[in-house]
Amino acid sequence: MQKKVLIVGGVAGGASAAARLRRLDEKAKIIIFERGEHISYANCGLPYYVSGVISERDALLVQTPQGMKGRFEVDVRTQSEVTRIFPMQKEIEILEKNGRRYIEAYDVLILSPGAAPVRPPIPGINDVEPFVVRNVTDIDRIKGYIDTQHPKTAAVVGGGFIGLEMAENLHVRGVETTIIEMSNQVMAPLDYEMAAILHDHIFNKGVNLILEDGVKAFTKNDKGTLITLQSGSEVQTDMVILAIGVKPEIKLAKEAGLAIGDLGGIKVNEKLQTSDPNIYALGDAIEVKNFVTGQPALIPLAGPANKQGRIVADVIAGKNSTYEGTQGTSIAKVFDLAAASTGANEKTLKKLGIPYEVSFTHSASNAGYYPGATRLSTKLIFDRKSGRILGAQIVGSQGVDKRIDDIAGVIRHYGTVFDLQDLELAYAPPFSSAKDPVNMAGYVAGNIISGDVEIVHWHEVKDMNPKEICILDVRTIEERKGKFIPGSLHIPIDELRSRLSELPKDKDIVVYCEIGLRGYLAYRILKQHGFTHVKDLSGGWVTYYPAVFG
């Protein structure tokens, strides 16, 4: 019996579901409805077309309606918006661009409508008509405006993935750019001290970054747009790009009576079925299970959407396939740095009351004696009792993608910090060290669990009174020049054993170095010489400085 499958939305998950289903079922009648002009486009690559890094517009189009028809025998109907679902009749209503409405029946319906850019009701927003970045048409508008109007300044409202990528590519085009972010940091998946590394880098690139200040109003004037901030500050700009975030497109599902989760996404089970067993949903529109915490989450990422499309096709074709959850593995290029994360961050774990421990490491991307090594700053979050890895964040200029993927794979298999120690990873001087940064993160976390070192974190040291404790800097004289924790005592690590008498035995001692290694060595020396109240500053000065002074 021929099965008729209708798909609402032809980007990422929707197109993936169609292609997979055709491979499994040659007889199924498959129709994709897409309200936009294009299907299966590289939305993650859109900002790079603005700068010319991606020079050919057609490179953004992964697949076309004609290509889907020719290769997969899929009927693709663009500029056709599905306006209503009639679950009882198993029908949908479609509105074409020319105004024609019609009804199409289905055996199975797949919802992949994606997510829409957040557009808050800020006074003046309708007068300004800010640009958004969702599809190829949007990016055509932005690039066309820059090519013809030659704006000198731009304001990007929002410091998430899209906001940072747009800011970078505007900067490449020579547009003086300001990023306005209401939170105290950019890139919400990162924790503050990791985002602080990016803040410093963004400032150094000549981009104006405004944090902890939201937009109060937009005003159109003869110079362009005046943005008034909550603080009363003003930003005059030639163009505005709104990149505050996205929200699931649930209008169709909600009006059809499908269950909506508490976070505002379409509710699905492990087979990605909605509350109607004949209707599936996937991608940015659904609530998923957070793989680490087990809690509902909204995680709008292309990788999971494509996997979900494959799973939906499997289930429709009769395969026993389930979606186990999303861990949110993501990465973004921020000028010369890459910032990546996987699993849960501290903010999420604190909110849910899940116990955890943290360690920071700053390793070289390749062997230090080989030219070109750069720093990889890694934050590992783990369960102190079991060692299970709960999350990780990495910022650096080389090798970030490789390392976050290694850790993401371990998380997916419920692995521990000890599994990171055991990973046998490819080594040659141009690519890594014999002890890869991933191994090192595992060793440091393992030392914490085993009790070989007791650590303290940057935010705890920030609030300490140097008169009540001894903060010991074991770096070199050169390293200490002009940069040190106020009130700290300086004894280089190589002089420590001969100068133990200078240290108080009646005070707590916090040891720190540049990145943490010498601090750990100093800790081990002091503990074995009778100093009982000693802690090591995790991540050393390199973690402390941007988080406290950045």
Active centre residues (catalytic): 44
Burial class (CB in 10 A: 0-12, 13-18, 19+), 13: buried
Strand segments (E) across 261-310: 279-281, 288-289, 296-297
To the nearest 10°, report the CA torsion of 385, 386, 390, 391. 90
Query: Alpha-carbon distance 394 to 414, whole Å?
Result: 20
Query: Alpha-carbon distance 198 to 190, whole Å?
Result: 10
State the sign of the Cα–Cα–Cα–Cα dihedral 478, 479, 481, 487.
negative
- 409 to 18, 327, 416, 446, 537: CA distances (angstroms): 27, 10, 11, 18, 28
Query: Alpha-carbon distance 336 to 483, whole Å?
Result: 24
Query: Alpha-carbon distance 538 to 360, whole Å?
Result: 6
Phi/psi of residue 295, each to 5°? -95, 155
Query: Alpha-carbon distance 50 to 173, whole Å?
Result: 8
State the sign of the Cα–Cα–Cα–Cα dihedral 500, 503, 507, 513.
negative
Asked whether 484 and 545 are in contact (CB, 8 A), the reply is no
Query: Alpha-carbon distance 144 to 138, whole Å?
Result: 10
The partner residues of 108 in beta bridges, in order of sequence, read: 5
